[in-house]
Amino acid sequence: MSIRAKEIAFSCYPVTDFVRARGFYEGVLGLKSTMLYGEPGGMQWAEYDIGGGTLSIGSAPQMKPSPDGCSVALEVEDFDAAIAQLRQHQVRFRMEPFESPVCRMAIIHDPDGNSLLIHQRKTRA
């Protein structure tokens, strides 16, 4: 018998300063919160629905940020404009923008050092 997962419910990044993290995810990345939970000083949680998936940030004592954990790739409409926006906000890059045969991407850090990918697929001929 297998678990038979049917979808990814959400991906979550641990954060240490919830207000600062929301400022980054909402102010810099332009995401819109679809759910907020918790109280300052206790567990706090925010969800951002993107396409058919959900990206979350959470703050709780047992959750520790890491640049080497799982990372989410955000598909953007305009890669160059996204990179310019990130540079304008002085976001730290873990890996500068690069191109592969199928996409363009860069890896950035959120304020807690978690890694996020900024990604744009190339159109297929």
Spatial neighbors of 103 by CB under 8 A, at least 6 apart, are 119, 120, 121, 122
Tell me what pLDDT residue 6 has: 75
Q: 95: helix, coil or strand?
A: strand
pLDDT computed for residue 7 by the predictor:
79
Examine residue 6 and state whether it is found in any structural domain, yes or no. Answer: no
Domain span holding position 84: 11-121
> Cα(36)–Cα(72) distance, rounded to whole angstroms?
20
What's the confidence (pLDDT) of residue 125? 62
The pLDDT value given to residue 61: 84
Q: How high is the pLDDT of residue 73?
A: 93
CB 83 within 8 A of CB 105: no
| CA nearest neighbour of 106 among 114, 94, 89 | 94
Domain count across the chain: 1
Residue 77, domain member (yes or no): yes
Three-state secondary-structure class, residue 24? helix
Structural domain includes residue 3 = no
Mean pLDDT by 10 residues, the chain (125 residues): 78 95 97 92 92 93 88 94 96 95 94 95 80
Collect all residues with Cβ–Cβ distance below 8 Å to 71 and sequence separation of at least 6: 107, 114, 115, 116, 117
